[in-house]
Amino acid sequence: MITRQRLAAGIFALLAALTVGIAVPSTAVADETTATAPKVNLLLDVSGSMRAKDIDGQSRMAAAKQAFNEVLDATPEEVQLGIRTLGANYPGDDRKTGCKDTAQLYPVGPLDRTEAKAAVATLAPTGWTPIGPALLKAADDLEGGEGTKRIVLISDGEDTCAPLDPCEVAREIAAKGIGLTIDTLGLVPNAKMRLQLSCIAEATGGTYTSIEHRDELTDRVNQLVDRAADPVVVPKAVEGAEACAKAPTLTSGLYTDREEFGQQRWYRVDVKPGQELRASVSVAADREVNPDYGVLLRAVTVKNREIVRGEAAGTGRTDVISTGLRYPKPEAEEEEEEDVAESVCLQVTNSYSPASGVKTTPGLPLEITVDVVDGPDQASDVASFGLGRGWWLLGVLVLVGFLAGVLWGWLSRWRVAVWRTN
């Protein structure tokens, strides 16, 4: 009897252990999936001007609601989606109160389509247009996780809560290095609104789209939500130093930083003998700048001896300029240690200057790509598989040509001899 009880207890313990062993990995996988899930926050302007009936014969608000319902139906399962409003709750004239009017209508997370649609159905055009404060709150809604983060702002007018400039807010969000992109859509836009929404989008690497029809709104928001689900490489935030000695060490990857006008930023990369360093940098003018500017990327030794450089210049026709360089480190000599890496210092310098009245902070956004790979084969290998192969092929062609000429000459003489005989 005791033996049977022990046997039963042992079987029960084994089953419990197996259950725990199966459940724990499942939980871990679920947590990992949640941590890397893409997040989208739809930020909708519900100010009083959304009552205007100029989108396909219906009000801007009605067009936005219909578009949202279609977008919610088409949202990919893996996307965590939220909806935030601005100007939806305060109908009064007190500017201070009106500029605080932003609320999370539906929290960012797994999407319940029925619940989200019910929340959208309650909206009615009401108050002010606090775009700047709403962007700050929308960014907070997306905190946490390692997946892509995107705000899609839909508005029909410029911000009414200055001096909190939405462009400056977008630059501050970008300067945090959290990989958040803001896309903007302007409903029946005017020139001033188009300029402001374009500035917001450009500050974070997003896009601006002008919307005049409901189908355009639906299609564009769907595209942006789908884009959030696409696998992308999110740049890692890094802070360059004022000198090489204090610079952060970078490995292969994509990085983002900010650089003041005319400033130098330094980074370090370890390169072993036989490896090749490939680096590039892009600097974006996310605000109005004077024409004629440039970017310089230098690779130098820790003793400040220049190894190689790349440079590019612009004249105001493009918002981004890029340059790059390559440095193949030779194989180690016999007396040198093969695994000893050399610290290569990368210096990024820009010659941008701000236009009159433009703020200089935060700095201009820059993106750095670093790739350390195995270098090209040495001269002996090149001779064997590169030029050597070419000379070998040339020799074969010469020999074949010579033999073909001899054979053709012999055949020609034979044919002439036969013709004379006949």
Q: At residue 18, does pLDDT exceed 80?
A: no
Whose CA is closest to 146, among 82, 47, 237?
237
Q: At residue 209, does pLDDT exceed 50?
A: yes
User: What confidence score (pLDDT) does residue 314 get?
Assistant: 83
CA torsion, points 215, 219, 220, 222, in degrees to nearest 10?
Answer: 140
Strand-pairing partners, residue 298, are 309, 347
Shared-domain flag, residues 254 and 186: no
Shared-domain flag, residues 84 and 160: yes
Residue finishing a domain among 211, 229, 247:
229
Residue that wins the pLDDT comparison between 374 and 129:
129
- For residues 260-268, average pLDDT: 94
User: What confidence score (pLDDT) does residue 86 get?
Assistant: 95
Has residue 393 been placed in a domain? no
User: What confidence score (pLDDT) does residue 162 get?
Assistant: 79
Residue that wins the pLDDT comparison between 377 and 213:
213
Has residue 7 been placed in a domain? no
Shared-domain flag, residues 295 and 194: no
Q: At residue 397, does pLDDT exceed 70?
A: no
Q: At residue 347, does pLDDT exceed 90?
A: yes
- For residues 118-147, average pLDDT: 92
Q: For residue 112, how many other CB atoms are within 10 A of its CB?
A: 12
User: What confidence score (pLDDT) does residue 396 get?
Assistant: 62
Shared-domain flag, residues 273 and 209: no
- For residues 304-326, average pLDDT: 85
Shared-domain flag, residues 218 and 108: yes
Q: Do β-strands 39-45 and 80-86 pair in parallel, antiparallel, or remain unpaired?
A: parallel
Shared-domain flag, residues 278 and 323: yes
Burial letters 54-71, b for 16+ CB under 10 A, else e: ebeeeebbbbbbbbbbbb
Has residue 21 been placed in a domain? no
- For residues 335-355, average pLDDT: 85
Q: For residue 210, how many other CB atoms are within 10 A of its CB?
A: 16
Tokens of 276: 């090749």
Shared-domain flag, residues 112 and 241: no
The CATH number given to whatever domain includes residue 274 is 2.60.120.380
Shared-domain flag, residues 320 and 246: yes
The parent domain of residue 92 ranges over 34-229
Q: At residue 31, does pLDDT exceed 60?
A: no
Task: Name the residue type at position 108.
Answer: V
Shared-domain flag, residues 145 and 84: yes
Shared-domain flag, residues 191 and 44: yes
Has residue 1 been placed in a domain? no
Shared-domain flag, residues 251 and 217: no
First to last CA, the chain: 118
The count of domains in the chain is 2
The CATH number given to whatever domain includes residue 107 is 3.40.50.410
pTM: 0.62
- For residues 108-124, average pLDDT: 95
**280 — pLDDT class (breaks 50, 70, 90):** very high
Tens digit of pLDDT for each residue in 371-394?
A: 998 876 543 343 333 444 445 555
Shared-domain flag, residues 264 and 329: yes
Has residue 308 been placed in a domain? yes
